[in-house]
Structure 1
């Protein structure tokens, strides 16, 4: 038999309304009374009726996450970190990798308080349906009115090129997804191109389209590098998965990293350190990115003021064993 607030009130010697206020942390109940009621509730094994609580508050404290896939390691890692970030809040998360229309219908059924959208998952703005929303994407390309968390891919590429330039590299290639409508990937290409131009390296610019974002895409793209007349001394990989494939392909060609060729990857996740050659990487650390996304959606839900937030984060370069000075000309 389940314990009710009437049972708690009887044992604690207070009214039903006092128990209800105390369990909802109301300032109208004295602290000493509140502590007594909570102790009695715990001792009696009281479990609140979640549905009733949600009905009173008109909130479910559930947030929907619309994601393109969890097959790629980076996206799976970011989802995991977003879930962990929610653990420190009253909110919980439900994840959908369905098409946007299907996912939104599911979220409506769950009466979510808000939605997080990864802009790679949709080619057009999502109708908000009067639900607070936050997107992870590129602020300059936005056509939506909801707030956006921007990991600043362009600045990340500028940092990567600058770092390699200072190590003496001039022939710097980029391998990533180029022939795409994905604005996140296109911004990386634009950032690389602009950075090469800023350093007077336009004639050394090499962009190899990997055709995808997976390990085998990076592995296959390396073949094109060695068909070029101009051989790079450093490569920037467009993602963790791509860079893992690049690394394996270079090793199979008996190239010593970083003695013969340096490698930097976009994406700043812990797995970079456990690759066969620990990878120098650039990007917003995944735990910080997750915290910013969670903070933004909760602020959207709880703030009474209408916000049109654009928050650009600062990428961080983490130096490891895959990068070094440019090899001396023989």
Structure 2
């Protein structure tokens, strides 16, 4: 038999409204009375009717996360950190790695209050849906009608090239995916090109298409680098944690010392960078900071009555470790 608030009120000897206030932690109820009511409620096995509560508030306190995959370590790590960031709020999170259409249907069934979307392209097709959403992606040059959290990949590449330049490197190669519609990857390439021009290194510019974002893509790309006899790099920038892991393994297998022969800097800033074969110098917004910003943005979108900031560009951080050092003196 379901225990109601009226049942608790009868046993506790207080009014129905007092029980309601106590269960909602109202400061209008004395602490002694509140403790008594909560004890009675627990002993009677009372369970709140969340559906009714949500109906009154017209909110579910659930946010949907629309994600492309959790197979890549970086994306799985970011999802984990987003989930942790929600633990400090009143919201819960549900994750969908389905297509956008399927994910939307799922979120509508759960009546989510808002959505977080991974924006691999500059265009997000959700434009007129009543559910508030924010995008983790690239803001681009055009105006946007929805909030974007931009990790500022261009600034990351600028800092990576600057770090290597100041160590004395000139032959700096970039390995990453660029034959793609993924705006995040394209901005990394553009950022690398701009940085090489900024530091007067255009004649040394070399971009190797990894054809993907996984470990094996980075591993096989190293062969293309070494086949170019006219321009052997003294430093490589990897376009992702997984790509850079493959690069590191391939260089090591070929007897190329990191960083004595070739320095390596990787995009992405996750804790796993510190535990690679050679602790990896990395660039990017720290994953915990990125998660906090994304969570803050969607909650603000849901709860704020004022117009929220549509584009927020974050500041990347370079963490220098053992994989980068001065070039070998020829």
Classify the TM-score, shorter chain: over 0.9
Residue 36 (structure 1) shift = 3.9
Q: Does structure 2 retain, via aligned residues, the 8 Å contact 1:169–1:233?
A: yes
- After TM superposition, list the pairs within 5 Å mapping 1:68-217 onto structure 2: 68-120=68-120, 124-141=124-141, 144-217=144-217
TM-score in terms of structure 1 length: 0.95
Instruction: Provide structure 2 residue ranges, at least 5 long, that are not aligned to the other structure.
Output: none
Give the Cα separation in 2 of the matches to 1:65 and 1:172: 37
Is it true that 1:254 corresponds to 2:251 in the alignment? no
Q: Please identify, of 5-14 and 127-136, the stretch whose mean Cα deviation from structure 2 is larger.
A: 5-14
Instruction: Provide structure 1 residue ranges, at least 5 long, that are not aligned to the other structure.
Output: none
Give the Cα separation in 2 of the matches to 1:218 and 1:141: 30
Aligned residues: 329
Residue 127 (structure 1) shift = 2.6
Q: What residue is the counterpart of 1:24 in the other structure?
A: 24
Q: What residue is the counterpart of 1:3 in the other structure?
A: 3
> What is the DSSP-based 3-state SS (H/G/I as helix, E as strand, rest coil) of the residue aligned with 1:140?
coil
Q: Does structure 1 retain, via aligned residues, the 8 Å contact 2:208–2:224?
A: yes
- Structure 1 residue runs of 4 or more that deviate by more than 6 Å after TM superposition: none
Residue 18 (structure 1) shift = 2.2
TM-score in terms of structure 2 length: 0.95
Give the Cα separation in 2 of the matches to 1:278 and 1:44: 56
Q: What residue is the counterpart of 2:326 in the other structure?
A: 325
Q: Please identify, of 296-305 and 158-167, the stretch whose mean Cα deviation from structure 2 is larger.
A: 296-305
> What is the DSSP-based 3-state SS (H/G/I as helix, E as strand, rest coil) of the residue aligned with 1:226?
helix
Please list the CA deviations of residues 211-246 of structure 1 after superposition, one character each: whole Å capped at 9, or x if unmatched. Answer: 000001101111110122100000000000000000
Give the Cα separation in 2 of the matches to 1:36 and 1:193: 68
Q: What residue is the counterpart of 1:65 in the other structure?
A: 65
Residue 312 (structure 1) shift = 1.1
Residue 308 (structure 1) shift = 4.0
Q: Does structure 2 retain, via aligned residues, the 8 Å contact 1:264–1:280?
A: yes
> What is the DSSP-based 3-state SS (H/G/I as helix, E as strand, rest coil) of the residue aligned with 1:314?
coil
Q: What residue is the counterpart of 1:50 in the other structure?
A: 50
Question: Could you say what the CA RMSD is over the residues aligned between the two structures, in angstroms?
Answer: 1.7
